[in-house]
Amino acid sequence: MTRTWFITGASRGLGRAFTLAALERGDQVVAVARRIERSDFEQDYGDRLLPLTLDVTDRTAVLAAVSAAVEHFGRLDIVVNNAGTMSAGMVEEFTEAEARAQFEVNFFGALWVSQAVLPHLRAQGAGHIVQISSIAALGGFPSTGLYSASKFALEGMSEALAMEAAAFGVKVTIVQPGGYWTDLYTSMTSTTPAEPYGPLRDELAKQWAEGSIDSDPRLAAEAMLKLVDSENPPLRLLLGSMVYDLAIDISRRRMEVWAEWEQVSRDAEKAIPAPASEDA
């Protein structure tokens, strides 16, 4: 059965890989990006490809784009919230505008798209929303604090969304990719460096000196096809050995700390009757 995808951030990186994988298997794709044209794709996919120019931070525009997509193809089956940006810098260095900008795309953009597609998926009684998160949502790391925060927010919202949408036959999966050769790092913005963080920046530079060894985005696209083909997709899917090992290690260390402080945690709870009202 031919399925219809709605993919944000479709003009480059993982979004482009997802778009091509869906088209190559014979599906239909609404390819969404700030700047996108049919000519951005080497092959002519005819009526199966609908490129739409869209800024996902504009809620009104998102609602209109989703309506146009449904009108064009008749339905949506798979929605991939892939659009994202990255701003690097120490938490103290971020201006209000820089902090808000990080959330506008990574969190609010995904929220607006999720809200816009849900009425259509509910009416169908089926659909799959895939939220592209990040390895950064496994924990906060120096210089990626606000990026991590935006992805933590995305995951918290998506966990609730998964439970709310399940009653209508709509599935939600959070995908946490590791490193892929995209332009995320080359296109990212940075804060104005604060002098006290110089030594930490130098230490981070040493750690990154050997450069990144990342994967072909097509491997992520292959995993995506397996995910959406599953009758029982997971709430979370890790992509890559490095991110898998990191997730296990972070979870283990958290459990060790929880166990070490277990008694303090338990002592902080003791049920009592509701306090009497001062007006009583």
227: amino acid identity, one letter = L
More confident residue, 203 or 118: 118
What CATH number is attached to the domain comprising 114?
3.40.50.720
Domain contains 167:
yes
Q: What is the pLDDT of residues 65-116, one digit of tens each?
A: 999 999 999 999 999 999 999 999 999 999 999 999 999 999 999 999 999 9
215 DSSP β-pair partners: 180
Q: Residues near 148 by Cβ (< 8 Å), separated by ≥ 6? A: 134, 136, 137, 139, 140, 141
Domain contains 236:
yes
At 210, the pLDDT band (50, 70, 90 cuts) reads low
> Could you tell me if 29 and 19 are in contact, meaning their C-beta atoms sit under 8 angstroms apart?
yes
244: amino acid identity, one letter = Y
Q: What is the pLDDT of residues 223-245, one digit of tens each?
A: 999 999 999 999 999 999 989 99
Domain contains 269:
no
Range of the domain at 59: 4-251
Q: What is the pLDDT of residues 112-132, one digit of tens each?
A: 999 999 999 999 999 999 999
- pLDDT score at 43: 82
| C-alpha–C-alpha distance, residues 264 and 25, integer Å | 55
Residue whose tokens read 């902090």: 99
> Angle at CA 87, nearest 5°, toward 201 and 130?
130
* Mean pLDDT, the chain, integer: 92
Q: Domains in the chain: how many in total? A: 1
Domain contains 278:
no
Task: Tell me: pLDDT of 185 over 70.
Answer: no
Domain contains 277:
no
More confident residue, 144 or 7: 7
More confident residue, 114 or 177: 114
276: amino acid identity, one letter = A
170 DSSP β-pair partners: 127
Domain contains 276:
no
Domain contains 264:
no
Q: What is the pLDDT of residues 12-64, one digit of tens each?
A: 889 999 999 999 999 999 999 999 888 777 788 889 999 999 999 999 999 99
Domain contains 268:
no
- pLDDT score at 280: 58
Question: How much is the pTM?
Answer: 0.92
Q: Hey, which residues are catalytic here? A: 133, 147, 151
Q: Residues near 161 by Cβ (< 8 Å), separated by ≥ 6? A: 114, 129, 172
